[in-house]
Amino acid sequence: MAGKTRVVGACVTVVVALVAITAGCGGTRSGGEKAAASEGLTGAASGAASARARVVKFAECMRRNGVSAFPDPDAAGALTIDAVANGSSVDTSSASFKHALGACKGLEPSGFTGHQRTPQEQKAALEFAQCVRDNGVRDFPDPSVSQPLVDTNRIPSAATPGGI
């Protein structure tokens, strides 16, 4: 039992390290968003609506440029492109997706494509992936430096009933 506790503790340590490492990696908000936030609830609601409107324009651009199945954002303005979470059929590795992403770069929401991990972040990500495999998800892939840490589209067992 002590060995399992150590493994779980190690996994938690890796996750905490990843959170600490990536905490400073978020994009900064534009001055307009800061101004909207300082205007109180009405300003914040209007800022959220305009942020969502920008993401809708990005989604429309992606569809116009060849990714017909690109989804609209949810009510909060978040985009989810995940076959497991919402049945998305968007192939983010396809030539048409990459072309559309290039054509719509000016509209791309902050953080949509992520960032490349530093060598330290990648080391922690690889340790996390190994920890997940060691604890039961045998087909959990190693992330590359530019891929999300957890991409359920790349975990075969995620698509099966009762998977992961």
> Average of pLDDT values for 22-45?
43
Domain co-membership, 50 together with 79: yes
Q: Give the predicted TM-score (pTM) of the model.
A: 0.46
Residues 107/54, Cβ–Cβ less than 8 Å: yes
Tokens of 94: 């396809």
Cα distance between residue 8 and residue 22, in whole Å: 21
Domain co-membership, 33 together with 106: yes
Identify the CA nearest to 113 among candidates 62, 46, 52: 62
Residue 2 lies in a domain: no
Domain co-membership, 96 together with 159: no
Tokens of 118: 């530093």
Domain co-membership, 36 together with 96: yes
Pick the more confident residue, 137 or 161: 137
Cα distance between residue 47 and residue 35, in whole Å: 9
Domain co-membership, 89 together with 69: yes
Domain co-membership, 88 together with 157: no
| pLDDT of 6 strictly over 90 | no
Residue 143, domain extent: 114-164
| pLDDT of 84 strictly over 50 | yes
Tens digits of residue pLDDT in 88-106: 788 888 899 999 999 999 9
Residue 4 lies in a domain: no
Domain co-membership, 151 together with 99: no
